[in-house]
Amino acid sequence: MTPRPRNLPADERRAVIVAAVIDLAAQQNPSEITTAAIAQQMGLTQGALFRHFPDKDAIWAAVMAWVAESLLDRIDRSAAGPASPLAAMQAMFMSHVEFVCEHPGVPRMLFGELQRATSTPGKRTVQTLLQHYRERLQRLLAAGIAAGELAPTLDTDAAASLFIGTMQGLVMQSLLAGDVGRMRLDAPRVFAIYRRGIGSTP
């Protein structure tokens, strides 16, 4: 159970609620998480929960906003260190893996939001996250071509899609296996294959 927040400012209390939802999503199907379950996880009443969020969709939107901000911040910091664009992409890939291992409920929620038939604030946030993620990749890919690290004829749009798809595949397989931590072992070998595919030489 998430520790019950006591005497916290409103912003911090909302952050604790978001953390409780992410913890629950690691344990069960996110679509089955109710506001009653969130309140129980925190040792609160539903009334206390609704003093900070008007409804469940608002909670989900806050969770997705936290995910987007946290993940983009994580990959930006990782990509800022390496000296070369390709090394930055590898650091970005590994930091994303680590983020998922630390928060296994997050991919469950992201996939769930994208499968919604209607547009919701949470779904729009996920779509924007993917757009910003892709933009970062395309900048690094263009820089890699300019630096001679990547093939000059490389289709950067396809290469960005493959990067994201490779990450999604790793996540999905780890979830199906019930062992998210296996990504730490698989990711370096998988990225090595991706790297050879987009490199400047066959």
At 37, which CATH number?
Answer: 1.10.10
Amino acid, single-letter form, for residue 57: D
Same domain for 68 and 123: yes
CATH number at residue 134: 1.10.357.10
Same domain for 126 and 85: yes
pLDDT of residue 176: 87
Same domain for 165 and 66: yes
Same domain for 147 and 182: yes
Distances (CA, A) of 27 to 13, 21, 160: 22, 10, 31
Same domain for 140 and 92: yes
pTM for this prediction: 0.88
Domain boundary at 34, 53, 72, which?
53
Same domain for 46 and 121: no
d(CA 159, CA 144): 12
pLDDT of residue 8: 63
Same domain for 37 and 99: no
Same domain for 47 and 130: no
pLDDT of residue 41: 86
Same domain for 70 and 45: no
Full residue range of the structural domain in which residue 37 is found: 1-53
For each of the chain's 202 residues, which pLDDT tens digit applies?
A: 555 545 666 778 889 999 999 999 998 888 889 999 999 988 888 888 888 899 988 999 999 999 999 999 999 999 998 889 999 999 999 999 999 999 999 998 888 888 888 888 888 998 999 999 999 999 999 999 999 999 999 999 999 999 999 999 999 999 888 888 899 999 999 999 999 999 876 5
Total tally of structural domains belonging to the chain: 2
Concatenating the DSSP letter of every residue in the chain gives -PPPP-S--HHHHHHHHHHHHHHHHTTS-GGG--HHHHHHHHT--HHHHHTT-SSHHHHHHHHHHHHHHHHHHHHHHHHHSSSSHHHHHHHHHHHHHHHHHH-THHHHHHHHHHT-SS--HHHHHHHHHHHHHHHHHHHHHHHHHHTTSB-TT--HHHHHHHHHHHHHHHHHHHHHHT-GGGHHHHHHHHHHHHHHHHBS--
Same domain for 115 and 48: no
Same domain for 72 and 26: no
CB 90 within 8 A of CB 166: no
Same domain for 146 and 96: yes
